[in-house]
Amino acid sequence: MIVKPKYWVLLLLILLGGISPSNAASTPVDPKVLHIINRLSFGPAPGNVQRVESMGVEKYIQEQLSPDSIPEPQSLSSQLNQLDTLHLNPVELSEHGTTHLPGQKPSLEERKAANKWAKQVLDQAVQARLLQATSSKR
């Protein structure tokens, strides 16, 4: 068997015991718990498995079905409050910065401003979604 040079280091570390399986769980995890976490969230985050095991699968499912009952972390709430476009309703979002009369074509500056506004709205919506996905227990 011929081993390519770039694999020598890896092979040597494995044989000498320098690499231990870091993803191996120290205690066996109930497959039902992992299944529920994977189905109802973005996968297990640190502490999720222990949380679900301590509260029980049924209670976790009920909690996730009523997300308003789950408090948001203060750090997440303050980050979301800084995103000003999230607090606007659809009418306010669509009418932002329009100065031309109905039936008139917007000027080049108005179109540029509208494009900039649309980009800001989209960027903040994406940022909010990522923050919620990574920081919320909901």
Assess whether pLDDT exceeds 90 at residue 133: no
Looking at residue 124, its pLDDT comes to 96
Span 119-127, average pLDDT: 95
CA–CA distance, 87 with 102 (Å, rounded to integer) = 26
pLDDT at 38: 92
Counted residue by residue, the chain has a size of: 138
- Please list, residue by residue across 21-60, b when 16 or more beta carbons sit within 10 angstroms of its beta carbon and e when fewer do: eeeeeeeeeeeebbebbeeebeebeeebbebbeeeeeeeb
The two structure tokens encoding residue 70: 């789950």
Q: Copy the structure tokens of residue 68.
A: 């308003």
Tokens of 82: 């800084």
3-class SS at 136?
coil
User: pLDDT (tens digit, 9 = 90+) per residue, 2-51?
Assistant: 545 566 565 555 666 554 455 555 678 889 999 999 998 878 888 889 99
* Six token digits for residue 69: 């009952």
Residue-wise pLDDT tens digits, 67-109: 898 899 999 999 999 999 999 999 888 888 777 777 788 889 9
**pTM for the whole structure:** 0.62
Q: Is the pLDDT of residue 52 over 60?
A: yes
For position 45, what pLDDT does the model report?
84
Cα distances from 16 to residues 24, 71, 109, 124, in angstroms, run 19, 48, 66, 49
Q: What is the DSSP secondary structure assignment for residue 97, as one 8-state letter?
A: T
Q: What token pair was written down for 26?
A: 């120290």
